[in-house]
Structure 1
Amino acid sequence: MAKKIAVIGMGQFGMAIAKTLSRKGAEVMVIDRKEAIIEEMADRVDMAVAMDATDKKTLISQGIPDFDAVVVAIGEDFEQLLLSTTVLMDIGVKRIMARARGKNQRVILEKIGVKEILSPEDEVGMNVAERLINPSIVSFLNLPDEFCIMEVTAPPDVIGRSLADIALRRRYDLNLVTMKRGKEVEKDGETITEQHIYGIPRGDSIIRENDSLILFGKRVNVERFIEINQ
């Protein structure tokens, strides 16, 4: 059964969430005060409603308490986001995810009892900073206790070598989750290269130029692996 999810606030962030959820088969309702934006989204989701998301009676009339989750993605007006989130909590929404822009907003949301807080600007900023400092890093996910899952471009000294020879676990205390490899495909009459998951690598798998390695381990060990093999 498809999940029912409402997204409040149709800025770029909210739109991206709603469109992705819809593509993945969720039953999506979008809510915004601006009718023009709602009209734009009407054909992309199951329901699009122009309304005040702080109005308790209207939210109840739309069946919001019965939704599996509500994402409050309002970006410009924190007071509106806070009021909307509080009302959602009052009417018993099962799962609420709210956007925070900066540390102070996060602290306030935590104080009122929001468990899942989204900080897209912080996450993008961290990714950009990491990639500027170390161009080999494609993306990363920080985990507790200094662990991470990090996608890195294969450094020069491992290209042409097998995974058994590189010995990631023994030499660097890292696990290889999988790899991504470029594949040429035809699109609109042009040949382009797309990255695809390699699958489950084996010891005799050979690293090629432009492969990406998705590694799990402590951040310091990933950075040491990149530095040693540059």
Structure 2
Amino acid sequence: MVGKKKNKTLKKRIAVIGLGDFGKTLVIYLNENGHEVTAIDKDIKIVEEIKDQCALAVCVDTSSRSSLEELDLEDMDEIVVALAENFESLITTAYNLKDMNLKCLHVRYHSELNRKILQMIGIENLFNPEERAAASMAEQLSYQGVKKATLLSEEYSLFEVEISPLLYGKKLRELKLREKFQINLVGIRKAESNGNDSESQEGGVFLPNSRTVFREKEILILFGSSESIKRFTSVYPIKF
């Protein structure tokens, strides 16, 4: 076992099991966001590589029930199983965690067969990052002006949309976005400051209010369904 403790304000205690490309990236982002992350993998080389970017790094084979029981995972707020392609290890690890009555399990699946078997053993929170990435990319490519799409659920996403010239000079309250399109404007990303001190700005994004006036080169951050965004971008295209 190798580890490095950090003195910082912590939000959650999270264990990540499986340190492939996805698992390692998840550990790094969670650590940067202030969480107390325990990174777990059976490959000592990978564990050594990640130890300085998490609270604790542990080398253990999680397909072993006795090894899992030594990790004190019952103290975790969230447990993410991000094992790679080893089907047997994935199922065994997930089954053991479920059988230990550990809560807040999030398990990655790689195929429809994986998903069905994990559901059969009682795992509820299943995810497939490749599917989500592909769906987000499809959203981004499908509609004119969409620069980025982040899938939040099967129905709703966050879309970053280039502003249409038809909106220049208009106020947010004039658009009636919820009434006409069933979407919400949750932020505006600016290429440069608009000089309005009454609007909260952070990292190039400000929170709009009903009096906000749309300007050139802005990126609208919209929350809604794909169909709603499709209607919005057809009414307010970036090119016409």
Normalising by structure 1, report the TM-score: 0.84
Superposition deviation, residue 203 in structure 1: 2.7
Please tell me whether the aligned partners of residues 11 and 35 of structure 2 are also in contact (alpha carbons under 8 angstroms): yes
Please tell me whether the aligned partners of residues 173 and 210 of structure 2 are also in contact (alpha carbons under 8 angstroms): yes
Superposition deviation, residue 47 in structure 1: 1.2
Aligned-residue CA RMSD (Å): 2.3
Please tell me whether the aligned partners of residues 98 and 118 of structure 1 are also in contact (alpha carbons under 8 angstroms): yes
Moved over 6 A (4+): none
What CA deviation, in whole Å up to 9, does each residue of 1:119-150 have, x standing for no partner? 10001001112222224222143546x55443
Q: Could you say if the C-alpha distance between residues 213 and 97 of structure 1 is closer, same or farther in structure 2, counting changes exceeding 3 Å?
A: same
Normalising by structure 2, report the TM-score: 0.81
Partner of residue 199, structure 2: none
Q: Does 1:141 align with 2:151?
A: yes
**Selected match of 2:205 from 182, 197, 201:** 197
Q: Could you say if the C-alpha distance between residues 19 and 154 of structure 1 is closer, same or farther in structure 2, counting changes exceeding 3 Å?
A: same
Q: Could you say if the C-alpha distance between residues 140 and 6 of structure 1 is closer, same or farther in structure 2, counting changes exceeding 3 Å?
A: closer
Superposition deviation, residue 42 in structure 1: 1.0
How many pairs are equivalent? Answer: 219
What are structure 1's unaligned runs of at least 5 residues? Answer: 185-193
Secondary structure of the residue aligned to 1:152 is strand
Q: What fraction of aligned residue pairs are identical, expressed as a percent?
A: 32
**Selected match of 1:129 from 132, 138, 144:** 138
Q: Distance in 2 between matches of 1:164 and 1:2?
A: 37
- Which is further off, 112-121 or 202-211? 202-211
Pick the structure with more strand per residue. Answer: 1
Partner of residue 214, structure 1: 221
What CA deviation, in whole Å up to 9, does each residue of 1:47-80 have, x standing for no partner? 1111101111112122123322211101221221
Q: Could you say if the C-alpha distance between residues 181 and 98 of structure 1 is closer, same or farther in structure 2, counting changes exceeding 3 Å?
A: same
Superposition map of 1:9-158 within 5 A = 9-137=18-146, 138-141=148-151, 143=153, 146-158=155-167
For 1:197, the aligned partner's letter is V
Q: Could you say if the C-alpha distance between residues 170 and 52 of structure 1 is closer, same or farther in structure 2, counting changes exceeding 3 Å?
A: closer
Q: Distance in 2 between matches of 1:35 and 1:148?
A: 38
